[in-house]
């Protein structure tokens, strides 16, 4: 081996796990993995767009790091990017010359290699070299003929090769040598030895290719025999028909009788009979015949004329709802109204209802209760994570593995054409290049269009107007507006602590005792223990975690009962609850001991219910900077600036120095900085905290507030008042300041909350400040 050239280049190194690129050859290579993509990105960013391509000895690591590679590689130029995806590339590269790695370095994006040119050795113009080149060329020509690769241009390139080394590289690149043999050929710098090795391996490839040809010929011969057998079977089938023996006609007659017996519309019946006619003409065992059979079976399994009789009994429905659910009066009332309308007008199309609320408040279970009330069958469609329109509408039956969409599959599963379809988690659908499933639902949920709903797989109209759709969602923010317009929204709010206690006593405890096989006489969970679980072990809008905690108590109790020879009754109280559930996960919320300056309690709404939100303000000598911290969103930052604008325009009224914005630095902070916060409802809270800090006036610690602020000092309405007031009660607040426009929403607040809280309605910030600031000091 000659010594490497003194000139070295610093190139990004790319280890190819299944491709070897030789000098002066154009090759298509596939790139995958983050490290490889970064290497290509670095090479493409250089002026000459070159990479150093090496063969890899071992399997590639999951991290994409450069492992054990061959010492010799190829300096190659990227000619073209043929395909580009998110995680892979297809490139056309041209090998320039062999190179040898002298040093590996860590670059900013990928591993870089110092590469020196590796010069070829050995005589290439003597008689032996010319003879070997001729032998290799003849074998390569035979190889192309056997493998039916008639490429005249390839042979011309081989004849025009400048020397033995280039001829060896062309043959090695274009034959099906295994990866290791190609890599060894690339590392062989003696041109004559390389050509001799390749000619030897080419002889072996000729033998393998000849064997493959013989096998292919035998296979074709057997296929001819199969065709002959098929012809004979078809002839025998005709003869059996002539003799009156049983054949496929019985199956076809059964299909036709079933189609005509359904009494379908003319268009649908004509379509199915046409498909049956095509099936009759299909040869035995054909793939098209299997597709048509599957299509007919799917269509005939649909409940075309099967319905369940509605039970329009309002009193019976009320008993079922009260038994299954505690509270939820607004939801129950709406469901009973629907049943009453069904009793008076049975032919009226059912309404499309969307139940919206935090997790665990009973949205899905309400749908099951409605099905029991109406005596209808129910099928659940989970839409969470669905991002393909074909999931809703189905696939064209020309595709392999095609099937109906989820809507028709659910109707078929229900077994009636008037079921209740539960569209669960409708707010969690996505959309990508395959379509938008929410747009496909527009036709499904439109009472004027779904009478003739056409699934892509069925290609015939199906009447969905008798179907009652109930959708569930945690939030409406992600549901498209046209889809919302087609549904009646019913909100399910958070449960109060008293409601959770009653649900646990009446439903959850008994359910878990039965589930774990424990008699009520052996395990008692006191009200005190349940209250402790609600306040100190679960912080949620619903009762899902509460049920899990009761389940955990039952498991611990089952262990004690199973180990005892003479089991005694176990009583769970507020004092021994840590023995079953461990230490408290949440400490009871308490008010501070004293009123503080610049510290105000606000109220916030989250997807899991209401929360209290403290705002802290510090005022320092400075140059007028306003700093906002606490992982705030843009809307909340704008609320803080709106509050500053109001204060600056009312400095005389508020008793604040007119130049405070020039001489003071103000820091507004929302604790729990790891939690993102956004929304306009903290506007009055920020304003009160700023005024308190600038005037050194304490804020009453028993007052909480919520409301959006305008730059003119108006207090604007907010949402989630029910959940926010529950959070205030839990925190020990006695007075809550709300916008005047939200006064009407007080009717929806639980009576327990209204009894313990004093509500102050405010149209302007003046009312808020008068209520919250303690000016007696």
Provide the token pair at 127: 């008689």
Per-residue confidence (pLDDT) for residue 644, from 0 to 100:
92
Q: Is 562 helix (H, G, I), strand (E, B) or coil?
A: helix
CA distances from 657 to 645, 661, 664, 667 (A): 14, 9, 10, 17
Confidence of residue 686 (pLDDT cuts 50, 70, 90): very high
Residue 107's SS3 state is coil
pLDDT at position 658 is 86
pLDDT in the model for residue 608: 62
Quick one: average pLDDT of 670-677?
Answer: 79
Dig out the tokens for 360 from the structure: 């665990």
Q: What is the pLDDT of residues 340-368, one digit of tens each?
A: 888 888 777 777 888 888 888 888 888 88
User: Phi and psi for 626 in degrees, rounded to 5?
Assistant: -115, 115
User: What is the mean predicted confidence (pLDDT) over 555-571?
Assistant: 84
Q: Which of 182, 271, 722, 724 is catalytic?
A: 724
Give the model's confidence band at 339: pLDDT under 50 very low, under 70 low, under 90 confident, else very high: confident
pLDDT in tens, 445-471: 887 788 888 888 888 888 888 888 999
Q: Name the 3-class secondary structure at 766.
A: helix
Kindly give the interhelix angle for 164-174 and 127-146, rounded to the nearest 10 degrees. Answer: 20
Does pLDDT of 266 surpass 90?
Answer: no
**Is-contact 735 704, C-beta < 8 A?**
yes
Confidence label for 270 from pLDDT (cuts 50, 70 and 90): confident
C-alpha of 309 from chain center:
38
Instruction: Decide the pairing of beta strands 758-762 and 735-739.
Output: parallel
Look over the chain and give the mean of its residue pLDDT values, rounded to a whole number.
83
Task: For residues 491-499, give the mean pLDDT.
Answer: 78
- Would you call 776 a catalytic residue per the annotation? no
Residue with tokens 């679960």: 538
Give the β-pairing of 488-491 and 353-356: parallel
**pLDDT attached to residue 5:** 43
The residue-averaged pLDDT of 700-704 equals 90
Question: So what's the pLDDT on residue 245?
Answer: 44
> Residue 740: what pLDDT?
92
Whole-number Å distance between alpha carbons of 443 and 439: 8
Please, are residues 418 and 348 in contact by the beta-carbon 8 Å criterion?
Answer: no
What pLDDT is recorded for position 351? 79
* Predicted local distance difference test score (pLDDT) of residue 59: 65
| pLDDT tens by residue, 390-419 | 888 888 877 877 888 888 888 888 888 889
Known catalytic residue at 108: no
Question: Do residues 377 and 414 touch, judged by C-beta distance below 8 A?
Answer: yes
Predicted local confidence at residue 4, as pLDDT: 42
Average pLDDT over every residue of 572-579: 88
Which of 246-260, 638-652, 717-731, 739-753 has the highest mean predicted lDDT (pLDDT)? 638-652
Determine the average pLDDT of the residues in 16-24.
Answer: 89
Instruction: Provide the pLDDT for residue 241.
Output: 61
Q: Flag whether pLDDT at 3 surpasses 50.
A: no
* Average pLDDT of the residues in 292-311: 85
Rounded CA separation 718/556 (Å): 44
CA distances from 620 to 477, 487, 663, 667 (A): 40, 53, 9, 8
From 333-337, 434-438, 477-481, 608-612, the region with the lowest mean pLDDT? 608-612
- The answer to whether 312 touches 343, Cβ cutoff 8 Å, is yes
Of 769, 777, 776, residue with least CA distance to 600: 769
Q: What is the pLDDT of residue 518?
A: 87
- Rounded-to-integer distance, Cα 489 and Cα 479, Å: 12
Statement: residue 11 has pLDDT above 60: yes
Handedness of CA 428, 432, 435, 439 (dihedral sign): positive
Tokens of 445: 């949920």
Cβ–Cβ contacts within 10 Å for residue 307, how many?
A: 13
* pLDDT tens digits, one per residue of 484-494: 888 888 888 77
What are residue 105's DSSP bridge partners? 112
Which is the catalytic residue, given 681, 692, 722, 755? Answer: 681
Q: For residue 610, is pLDDT > 50?
A: yes
| pLDDT for residue 458 | 83
């Amino acid at each position: 081996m000659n010594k490497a050239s003194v000139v070295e280049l610093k190139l990004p190194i790319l280890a190819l796990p299944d491709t070897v690129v030789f000098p002066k050859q154009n090759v298509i290579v596939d790139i995958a993995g983050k490290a490889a993509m970064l290497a290509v990105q670095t090479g493409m960013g250089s002026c000459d767009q070159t990479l150093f391509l090496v063969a890899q000895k071992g399997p590639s690591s999951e991290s994409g790091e450069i492992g054990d590679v061959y010492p010799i590689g190829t300096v190659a130029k990227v000619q073209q990017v043929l395909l580009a995806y998110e995680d892979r590339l297809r490139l056309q590269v041209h090998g320039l010359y062999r190179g040898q790695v002298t040093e590996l370095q860590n670059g900013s994006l990928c591993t870089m290699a110092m590469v020196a040119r590796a010069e070829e050795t050995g005589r290439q113009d003597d008689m032996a070299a010319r003879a070997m080149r001729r032998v290799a060329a003849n074998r390569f020509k035979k190889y192309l003929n056997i493998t039916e690769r008639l490429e005249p241009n390839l042979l011309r390139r081989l004849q025009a090769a400048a020397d033995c080394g280039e001829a060896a590289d062309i043959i090695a690149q274009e034959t099906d040598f295994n990866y290791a043999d190609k890599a060894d050929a690339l590392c062989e710098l003696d041109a004559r030895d390389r050509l001799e090795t390749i000619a030897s391996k080419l002889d072996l490839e000729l033998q393998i290719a000849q064997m493959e040809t013989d096998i292919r010929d035998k296979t074709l011969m057997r296929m001819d025999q199969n065709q002959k057998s098929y012809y004979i079977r078809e002839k025998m089938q005709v003869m059996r028909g002539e003799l009156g023996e049983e054949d496929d006609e019985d199956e076809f007659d059964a299909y036709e009788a079933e189609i005509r017996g359904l009494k379908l519309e003319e268009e649908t019946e004509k379509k199915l009979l046409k498909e049956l006619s095509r099936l009759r003409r299909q040869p035995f065992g054909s793939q098209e015949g299997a597709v048509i059979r599957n299509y007919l079976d799917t269509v005939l399994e649909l409940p075309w004329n099967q319905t369940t009789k509605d039970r329009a009994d309002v009193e019976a429905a009320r008993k079922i709802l009260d038994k299954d659910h505690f509270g939820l009066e607004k939801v129950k009332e709406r469901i009973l109204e629907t049943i009453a309308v069904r009793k008076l007008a049975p032919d009226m199309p059912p309404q499309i209802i969307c139940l919206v609320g935090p997790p665990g408040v009973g949205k899905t279970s309400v749908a099951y209760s409605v099905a029991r009330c109406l005596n209808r069958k129910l099928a659940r469609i989970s839409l969470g994570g669905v991002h393909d329109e074909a999931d809703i509408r189905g696939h064209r039956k020309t595709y392999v593995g095609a099937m109906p969409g989820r809507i028709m599959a659910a109707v078929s599963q229900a077994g009636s054409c008037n079921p209740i379809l539960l569209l669960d988690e409708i707010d969690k659908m996505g959309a990508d290049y395959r379509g938008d499933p929410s747009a496909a639902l527009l036709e499904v949920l439109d009472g004027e269009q779904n009478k003739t709903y056409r699934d892509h797989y069925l290609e015939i109209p199906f009447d969905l107007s008798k179907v009652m759709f109930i959708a569930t969602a945690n939030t409406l923010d992600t549901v498209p507006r046209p889809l919302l317009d087609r549904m009646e929204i019913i909100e399910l709010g958070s449960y109060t602590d008293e409601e959770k206690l009653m649900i646990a006593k009446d439903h959850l405890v008994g359910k878990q005792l039965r589930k774990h096989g424990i008699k009520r006489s052996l395990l008692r969970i006191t009200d005190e223990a349940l209250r402790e679980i609600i306040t100190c072990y679960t912080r949620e809008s619903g009762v899902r975690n509460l049920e899990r905690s009761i389940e955990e108590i039952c498991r611990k109790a089952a262990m004690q009962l199973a180990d005892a020879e003479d089991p005694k009754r176990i009583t769970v109280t507020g004092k021994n609850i840590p023995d079953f559930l461990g230490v408290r996960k949440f400490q009871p919320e308490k008010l501070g001991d004293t009123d503080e300056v610049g510290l105000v309690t606000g109220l916030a709404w989250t997807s899991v219910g209401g929360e209290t939100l403290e705002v802290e303000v510090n005022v320092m000598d400075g140059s007028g900077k306003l700093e906002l911290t606490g992982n705030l969103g843009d809307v909340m930052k704008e609320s803080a600036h709106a509050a500053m604008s109001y204060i600056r325009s009312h400095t005389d009224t508020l008793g604040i120095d007119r130049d405070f914005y020039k001489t003071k630095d103000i820091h507004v902070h929302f604790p729990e900085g790891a939690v993102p916060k956004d929304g306009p409802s903290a506007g009055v809270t920020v304003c009160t905290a700023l005024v308190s800090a600038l005037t050194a006036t304490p804020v009453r610690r028993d007052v909480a507030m919520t409301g959006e602020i305008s730059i003119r000092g108006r207090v604007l309405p907010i949402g989630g008042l029910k959940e926010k007031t529950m959070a205030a009660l839990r925190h020990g607040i006695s007075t809550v300041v709300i916008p005047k426009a939200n006064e009407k929403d007080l009717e929806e607040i639980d009576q327990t909350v209204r009894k313990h809280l004093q509500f102050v309605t405010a149209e302007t910030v003046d009312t808020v400040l008068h209520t919250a600031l303690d000016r007696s000091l």
